[in-house]
Amino acid sequence: MSKIKPSKGAPYARILGVGGYRPTRVVPNEVILEKIDSSDEWIRSRSGISTRHWASPEETVAAMSVEASGKAIADAGIGPEQIGAVVVSTVSHFHQTPAIATEIADRIGAGKPAAFDISAGCAGFGYGLTLAKGMIVEGSAEYVLVIGVERLSDLTDLEDRATAFLFGDGAGAVVVGPSDEPHIGPTVWGSEGDKSETIKQTVPWNDFRVGDVSQLPVNERGEIKFPAITQEGQAVFRWAVFEMAKVAQQALDAAGITADDLDVFIPHQANLRIIDSMVKTLKLPEHVTVARDVETTGNTSAASIPLAMERLLATGKAKSGDTALVIGFGAGLVYAATVVTLP
């Protein structure tokens, strides 16, 4: 018989507060068109995007995260010293180590919480939320700060007609805490590594070691290009619309509800065509509010779901207590979907 005491966590977990930060610079499609042969109409018809936010040098991954986290902590009604763990999802923190979560934890005054980064692309928020729920129910933390943050402008090839218009910067954060009732449903998550080539970084960092750089990509001026995110648009579109609609339905089933029970749908803000196609495939009723933050924020990867959630609540399009289906999907290919009660 084991001599180890059982964990004493909360019965359930829920999102208690949400916060977001968008960089001050708003970038319209006209700026993107300076580097690619396209049109505003084409960009809008392909993606739904009219503007996005790009960070200044001062708006670092850490700085944006601190701003979003402060709002989420205040919204949750707790003090930063009560945070027991900080989980950051990002692909655009360029230091291999230490994790940016440790710096953020210190800057918000959280004391000495567990702090670590995860790399799950556009599904990262869902992964972090699931980890937070587990920590609270297991008893290793009472309150967990989950952050999705990206500076994708640093990883955008502005000369790539297929992707130059897609990406934006920003940070979204939630505080997850204890609950006496279930407010975060079971997570349906997974990966399809056989499709990992469809969204990827153009070249690995170690190709920039001192030595032969003749194989590195160059721009039209002959300058070596910094690594960027590239994707096979049609393959990603088909996968997201058809396969992720199935995952979203599985999340509804796992939570024991139907589409009619939903108040809000918050998918990863990848592309408006994908979002609208998923709504149609899922046969969501007209009363369900659908997040379409991508139109003015662009694709912010791990930050997109909490940013969209924060905007829906701030604008009154969604309200506290609403039942929301959230689903993230992206590079890997990875995905995560769950049903939550909005804070």
Q: Known catalytic residues? A: 122, 268, 299
CA distance 274 to 291: 12
- Token pair recorded at residue 22: 């968008």
CA distance 343 to 322: 8
Q: In which region does residue 27 sit, left (phi positive, over 0), alpha (psi from -120 to 50) or beta (all else)? A: beta
User: What length does the chain have?
Assistant: 343
CA distance 102 to 89: 13
Q: Which helix (H) or strand (E) holds 272?
A: helix 272-282
CA distance 318 to 342: 8
Q: How far is CA 212 from the centre of its chain?
A: 36
In Å, what is the CA distance from 304 to each residue of 34, 299, 325?
26, 7, 14
**240: helix, coil or strand?**
helix
In degrees rounded to 5, what are phi and psi of residue 73? -65, -45
CA distance 135 to 177: 10
